Amino acid sequence: MFLVDRLILLTAILLILGIASSKLSSRMGLPVLVLFLGIGMLAGGEGLGGIAFENYPLAHAVGTLALAVILFDGGLRTDIRRLRAVLAPAVTLATVGVALTASIVALFASLLLGLPWTVALLGASIVSSTDAAAVFAVFRARGTRVRERLTSTLEVESGSNDPMAVFLTLACLGVLFGELEWGPDVVWLFLRQLVLGGAIGWLVARGTAIVVTRIGLDSAGLYPVLTAAAGLLAFGAAAVAGGSGFLAVYVAGIVLGGRRLPFRQAVFMFHDGLAWMAQIVMFTLLGLLSFPSRLVAVSQPALLVAGVLVFLARPLAVAVCLLPYRYTGREIAFVAWGGLKGAVPIILATYPLLRGLTGAETLFDMVFFAVVVSAVTQGWTLPFAARALGLDERPARESGVTLEITSLQDVDGDIVEYAVTGPSRAAGLRIRDLALPDGVVIAMIVRDKQVIPPRGSTRIEPGDDVFVLLRPAVRELVEHVFADSGGEDWHPASAMEFPLRGSTRVGEVEEFYGIRIDAPAGDTLDEYLRSALGRRPARGDTLVSGPLTFVIRELVEDRIETVGLLIEAGR
């Protein structure tokens, strides 16, 4: 019993140290995995803690579970619109890019270290995937942002390339142990992992979405638990069926994240905390497995492999994959340098140990060393690389307040928070001058930690946090109102009707949505439609003007109260 008490105490201390180190990581601009690994190494057999830990099966089990939790959280937070915009190049990187990277590293490892080809390919496959958490932790820490296309590409690639690395690792181990042969066996393994993983992840997510949106649960606290169970179910079912559990859990997260979940904010916060705890536990445990004396012994070949990986294999693979999608040379260079290594290579390095492969300990130490070198060198210099390549952008202002609500699960509405920046289209304007869709209500404004009652004459100022009550159908329109004025004009993905007030002025519509209306800017939509129709308006009257269609939806005493605006898709 005393041993259990000590274990609980030690776990609590390590978690607290991990959380404290995340704050230090934020200030230093260093990926959190490095500090968590450092804590584990300090607590290990050759560190101050003196904890002798070499239980590779336990580390593999805990690491796999932690990775499933982290990937599910990443899938939940993946923006579907951003995913669609970079899906083709990101998936190419996650499949062809990983295979090319592994092949190039294996070629040089075989030539320079004298390793058999399959053994060299095994080691190269283990270090071929990238880590999204490490990349974006660096940007959050340094307050650096790069173009959305690049962050989306790196995020989707990092979330979806783990299955390819796992497949290559399993294929190499199967060949080494005589269970597979290069050719049909490996192709069948790849197809089975891909198809079963993707299909099971999608089916589990759709089933869970039906439960939470149609059937409902008795307690709000059960929704995060159910979604977590769904992620684990997707991983476990796919793995047992012979598919990729990592792909299944990531797909399940994406599908569920794109649905209107009840208590959505609470679900996201729960999984964010769970993912943080998974990172702390996983990296600390992996740090316990390392022995500094053994790392020094493999430092030379590990540095050689890391150098080939970072400076040759990754850049060549990225260039081959992204050039067909018209990425510039600077963008390709940044994506190549942004391929930080993280948890997956270290977890994959336990596979040969579990199988009893000769030389597996040396391979584990080399992978561990290479991951740390990549995280430290690339992680620390990534913001500087963005600035040197001219790809950095002004950091978005983070909100200092949050709004907690119970649920809108039975109401067709959302409460959305917008942090107003200087370049925002809404900055400096009164509420009544915002061309907001009909039915959209500004519920609260927070300025300098003070609540400002919203009135028509209230002016929106840079630095404000604006809470808006809206229907999901018009969210895309409202987001454009609060977006930066220097951004791109709004192009709806599909034709849909947006309601506007008849009192909204033509100039306001043109300014906020980047469209052109053949009418004086000072006219209201009511005045414009009356003049264009040339007669008394009636409900349902339609006016077509180029890519725009106006439909009179509501009249109050002959005054046009609501106008439906349709804009051609891809206009």
Does 530 lie in the same domain as 432?
no
What's 446-483 look like in SS3?
EECCEEECCCCCCECCCCCEEEEEECHHHHHHHHHHHC
> CB-based contacts of 532: which residues, under 8 Å, 6+ apart?
519, 543, 545
Number of domains the chain contains: 3
| Residue the block writes with tokens 């192709």 | 187
pLDDT band, residue 23 (cuts 50/70/90) = low
State mean pLDDT over 481-485: 74
Confidence of residue 100 (pLDDT cuts 50, 70, 90): very high
Query: What are the pLDDT digits (tens) for 225-251?
Result: 888 999 999 999 999 998 888 889 989
Instruction: Tell me, yes or no, whether 464 and 531 share the same domain.
Output: no
Do residues 245 and 310 share a domain? Answer: yes
- 285 has pLDDT over 90: no
> Same structural domain for residues 254 and 386?
yes
The string of DSSP letters for 122-167 reads HHHHHT----HHHHHHHHHHHT-EE-HHHHHHHHHHHHHSHHHHHH
pLDDT of 484 strictly over 50: yes
| Least reliable range by pLDDT among 101-115, 154-168, 312-326 | 154-168
Residue 496 and residue 478 in one domain: no
For residues 258 and 209, the answer to whether their CB atoms sit within 8 Å is no
> Residue 284 is encoded by which pair of tokens?
């600390």
Assign 445 to helix, strand or coil: strand
**455 plus 507 within the same structural domain:** no
Same domain, 287 and 426: no
4 SS3 class: helix
Q: What is the CATH number of the domain that holds 425?
A: 3.30.70.1450
What is the average pLDDT across 97-108?
93
Average pLDDT over residues 340-358: 84
Other beta carbons less than 10 A from residue 242's beta carbon: 12
Euclidean distance between CA atoms 194 and 189, whole angstroms: 9
> Domain check: are 229 and 176 in the same one?
yes
Of the listed ranges 75-79, 254-258, 442-446, the one predicted with least confidence: 75-79
Structure token digits, residue 414: 């959302």
Tens of pLDDT, residues 491-538: 555 556 778 888 888 888 777 777 778 888 888 888 888 888 888 888
Q: Which of 94-98, 204-208, 434-438, 521-525 has the lowest mean pLDDT?
A: 434-438
| Tokens 């089916």 sit on residue | 203
Q: Domain containing 89 — which CATH number? A: 1.20.1530.20
364 and 432 part of one domain: no
* % of residues, the chain, pLDDT over 90: 13
> What does 203-230 look like in DSSP terms, one character per residue?
HHHHHHHHIIIII--S-TTHHHHHHHHH
Residues of the domain holding 443: 399-487
Q: What is the mean pLDDT of residues 28-37?
A: 66
Q: How far apart are CA 360 and CA 345, in angstroms?
A: 14
The phi, psi pair for 189, rounded to 5°, reads: -60, -45
Q: At which of 434, 468, 487 does a domain end? A: 487
| Radius of gyration from C-alpha coordinates of the chain | 27
Asked if residue 571 has pLDDT above 50, the reply is: no
Closest CA to 475 of 206, 260, 256: 260
pLDDT number for residue 492: 54
Q: Report the predicted TM-score, pTM, of the whole model to 2 decimal places.
A: 0.73
Same domain, 360 and 418: no
Question: In whole angstroms, what is the distance from residue 67 CA to residue 274 CA?
Answer: 11
Q: What is the CATH number of the domain that holds 545?
A: 3.30.465.10
Is the Cβ–Cβ distance between 201 and 195 less than 8 Å? no
Chain-centre distance of CA 30, in angstroms?
19
What integer best gives the mean pLDDT of the chain? 80
Q: What is the mean pLDDT of residues 54-70?
A: 83
DSSP for 344-396, written as a single string: HHHHHTHHHHHHT-TTHHHHHHHHHHHHHHHHHHHHHHHHHHHHHTT-EEPPP
Number of C-alpha atoms within 13 angstroms, CB side, residue 215?
10
What is the arithmetic mean of pLDDT over 562-567? 82
Asked if the model's pLDDT at residue 490 lies above 60, the reply is no
420 plus 527 within the same structural domain: no
| Domain's final residue, options 366, 392, 418 | 392
Please give the pLDDT value at position 92: 93
CA distance 86 to 304: 33
- Residue 398: its pLDDT value, please? 53
Contacts of 180 (CB under 8 A, 6+ apart): 171, 174, 186, 189
Query: In one letter, which amino acid is 83?
Result: L
d(CA 212, CA 332): 41
User: Which pLDDT score is estimated for 406?
Assistant: 46
Is 323 in the same domain as 405? no
Mean pLDDT value across residues 556-565: 84
Q: SS3 of 502, please?
A: coil
From 487, 507, 525, the end of a domain falls on 487
